[in-house]
């Protein structure tokens, strides 16, 4: 076979991965498999980190891999390999078939139903290669760190600045005749610094930007300045006494609240009966100002896709409508276990977009009047079965609608279902850098454990 054409970065075109994947499916059929699926991916990346202007690391990554799954009736076997030679593929196929022969039959296993597979593949503008050289990447990271360090003389230490750029191409195909191709990029630049006051008290903070198109990132200087300003703002942090008060989660922390929701409506925890939202379909789970919608076709978004990991067509739909739960997140296996239909969410959610009001960040602070702004959360104290929530927090205390002083070592305690239903406002300050797009979230009556 002649070498596949390549992009200027050395990766093959996604369309040119097809012959190898189809050859794998043919081999699975020849081995007696009743169904088979295979995915092939190639990726490359560059990452650099600097600290105190010195290069700490410079890494170039190039990976490729083949994953295949065979079904003999309801017996399943899977294998993967980075060796794409004929012998490497043959060994992976033999391993998958051997695994299938010794596994128990599972009546719920198998490919997604043929009539649910995607047939429409719009250009979602996910692939924006960045031909940045190592020297250029190093200089951008240095400029970012220098901007942060120059904000204030009290910034005395750096945890470094880093730049990362990744590009990948992949193809997924199965024995139903489905072929889905993807190519995409992800770029980021970040910086973290440490400030100290005359008493020797130290605070750390950071900032970053990321996205698929490097041309849309903030400048190195802007990211560095923001990191420095955030760090200085935390000097003089105090501890709060135990109290109940409103809490305003900034977008970067608010999306974690919705991340716990995503986990609770996903198929695996549902069929294992390990979710605090069991039996809540078509019932209110959020305050009625909250609507959550999956929007998989947003151009350039982090999780846009026309199909899920099984090739099932994705769809724009409400997960929560005016507070009421309207849909689970299911792949084919979990759907069959539950006696339902797949929702096209094998692999997770494809851009969760939260509703928002007209109030920006500063207006939400005035709306809150008195309470805590949470800019950082620590710990993993979330119980997905009961919804109990307890996490360390840092941020700023607000009095009379204005920030009064920074706060550290607070603990927020509550139950997620109650927290969701106490949401008073959703901010217009939407952060689009994640697969969860939301603004700040103001929640009434949360318990803070302090001194």
In a domain, 237, yes or no: no
Q: What is the pLDDT of residue 8?
A: 61
The 10s digit of each residue's pLDDT in 353-383 is: 999 999 999 999 999 999 999 999 998 889 9
pLDDT of residue 132: 96
User: Is the pLDDT at 1 greater than 70, yes or no?
Assistant: no
| Mean predicted confidence (pLDDT) in 382-393 | 96
Task: Answer whether residue 7 is part of any domain.
Answer: no
270 & 211 share domain: no
181 and 41, same structural domain? yes
SS3 at position 226: helix
Indicate whether 152 belongs to any domain.
Answer: yes
Report the half-sphere exposure of 236 (CA within 13 A, side-chain side).
Answer: 9
Question: ∠ CA 36-37-38 to the nearest 5 degrees?
Answer: 135
Q: From the CB of residue 195, how many other CB atoms can be counted at a distance below 10 Å?
A: 24
Q: What is the pLDDT of residues 65-76, one digit of tens each?
A: 999 999 999 999
What backbone phi and psi angles, to 5 degrees, belong to 276? -75, -5
- 352 and 425 together in one domain: yes
Average pLDDT of 418-429?
Answer: 97
Looking at 208, 232, 256, the residue that finishes a domain is: 232
Q: Does residue 32 sit within a domain?
A: yes
Distances (CA, A) of 43 to 17, 64, 180, 181, 431: 13, 6, 17, 14, 27
What is d(CA 245, CA 446) in angstroms, rounded to the nearest whole number? 6
The domain boundary, picked from 204, 232, 260, lies at: 232
pLDDT at residue 13 greater than cutoff 90: no
Residue that finishes a domain, picked among 163, 198, 232: 232
Range of the domain at 79: 14-232
**How many structural domains is the chain composed of?**
2
Strand order in the sheet with 436-437: 324-325, 317-321, 292-294, 352-354, 436-437
Q: What is the pLDDT of residues 224-273, one digit of tens each?
A: 999 999 999 999 999 999 999 999 999 999 999 999 999 999 999 999 99
- Residue by residue, DSSP assigns 102-138 as HSPP-TT-SPPPGGGB----------------HHHHH
Is residue 3 in some structural domain? no
Q: Do residue 225 and residue 247 come from a single domain?
A: no
pLDDT (mean) for 109-138? 97
Mean pLDDT of all residues in 72-88: 96
Do 366 and 417 lie in one domain? The reply is yes
**Mean pLDDT across the chain:** 95
Same domain, 210 and 296: no
158 and 280 inside one domain: no
* DSSP character at residue 204: E
Q: Verify that 284 and 400 share a domain, yes or no.
A: yes
Angle between helices 18-30 and 86-102 (to 10 degrees): 40
Do residues 20 and 141 both lie within one domain? Answer: yes
Domain assignment present for residue 4? The answer is no
Residues 190 and 274 in one domain: no
Is the pLDDT confidence value at 3 over 70? no
- pLDDT (average), residues 177-185: 97
For 260-280, the DSSP string reads HHHHHTBHHHHHTT--TTTT-
The pTM assigned to this predicted structure is 0.94
Looking at the domain assignment, is residue 221 inside a domain?
yes
Q: Which CATH number do you get for residue 171?
A: 3.30.2290.10
Least confident of 6-10, 148-152, 157-161, 255-259: 6-10
Domain membership of residue 5 (yes or no) is no
- What are the φ/ψ torsions at residue 78 (nearest 5 degrees)? -130, 150
**Rounded percentage of the chain residues whose pLDDT exceeds 90:** 94
* Cα–Cα separations (whole angstroms), residue 29 to 24, 92, 113, 437: 9, 14, 18, 43
Shared-domain flag, residues 291 and 224: no
Whether residue 430 sits in one domain with residue 352 = yes
Output phi, psi for 192, to 5 deg. -135, 135
Q: Is the pLDDT of residue 35 over 80?
A: yes
């Amino acid at each position: 076979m002649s070498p596949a054409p390549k992009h200027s970065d050395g990766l093959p075109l996604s369309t040119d991965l097809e012959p190898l994947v189809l050859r794998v499916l043919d081999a699975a059929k020849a081995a007696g498999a009743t169904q088979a699926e295979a995915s092939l991916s190639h990726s490359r990346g560059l990452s650099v980190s600097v600290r105190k202007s010195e290069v700490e690391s410079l890494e170039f990554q190039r990976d490729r891999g083949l994953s295949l799954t065979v079904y003999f009736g309801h017996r399943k076997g899977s294998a993967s390999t980075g060796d794409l030679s004929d012998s490497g593929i043959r060994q992976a196929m033999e391993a998958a078939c051997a695994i299938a022969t010794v596994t128990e039959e599972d009546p719920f296993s198998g490919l997604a139903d043929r009539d649910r597979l995607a047939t429409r593949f719009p250009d979602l503008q996910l692939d924006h290669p960045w031909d940045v050289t190592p020297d250029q990447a190093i200089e951008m990271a240095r400029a970012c760190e220098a901007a942060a360090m120059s904000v204030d003389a009290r910034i005395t230490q750096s945890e470094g600045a880093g730049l990362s750029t990744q590009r990948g191409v992949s193809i997924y195909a199965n024995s139903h005749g489905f072929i889905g191709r993807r190519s995409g990029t992800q770029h980021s630049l970040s910086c973290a610094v440490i400030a100290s006051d005359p008493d020797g008290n130290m605070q750390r903070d950071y900032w970053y930007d990321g996205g698929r198109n490097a041309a849309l990132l903030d400048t190195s200087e802007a990211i560095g300045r923001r990191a420095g300003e955030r760090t200085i703002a935390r000097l003089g942090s105090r501890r709060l006494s135990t109290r109940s008060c409103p809490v305003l989660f900034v977008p970067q922390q608010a999306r974690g609240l919705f991340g716990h929701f995503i986990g609770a409506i996903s198929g695996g925890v549902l069929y294992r009966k390990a979710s605090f939202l069991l039996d809540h379909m078509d019932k209110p789970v959020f305050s009625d100002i909250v609507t959550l919608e999956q929007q998989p076709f947003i151009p350039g978004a982090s999780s846009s896709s026309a199909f899920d990991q099984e090739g099932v067509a994705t769809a724009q739909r409400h997960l929560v409508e005016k507070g009421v739960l309207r849909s689970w997140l299911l792949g084919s296996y979990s759907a069959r276990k539950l006696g339902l239909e797949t929702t096209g969410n094998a692999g997770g959610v494809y851009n969760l977009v939260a509703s928002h009001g007209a109030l920006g960040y500063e207006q939400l602070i005035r709306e809150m009047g008195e309470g805590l702004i949470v800019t950082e959360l620590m710990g993993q104290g979330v119980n997905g079965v009961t919804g109990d929530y307890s996490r360390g927090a840092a941020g700023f205390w607000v009095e009379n609608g204005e920030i009064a002083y920074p706060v550290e070592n607070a603990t927020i305690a509550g139950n997620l279902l109650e927290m969701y239903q106490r949401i008073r406002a959703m901010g217009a300050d939407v952060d689009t850098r994640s697969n969860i797009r939301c603004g700040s979230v103001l929640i009434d009556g949360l318990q803070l454990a302090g001194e």
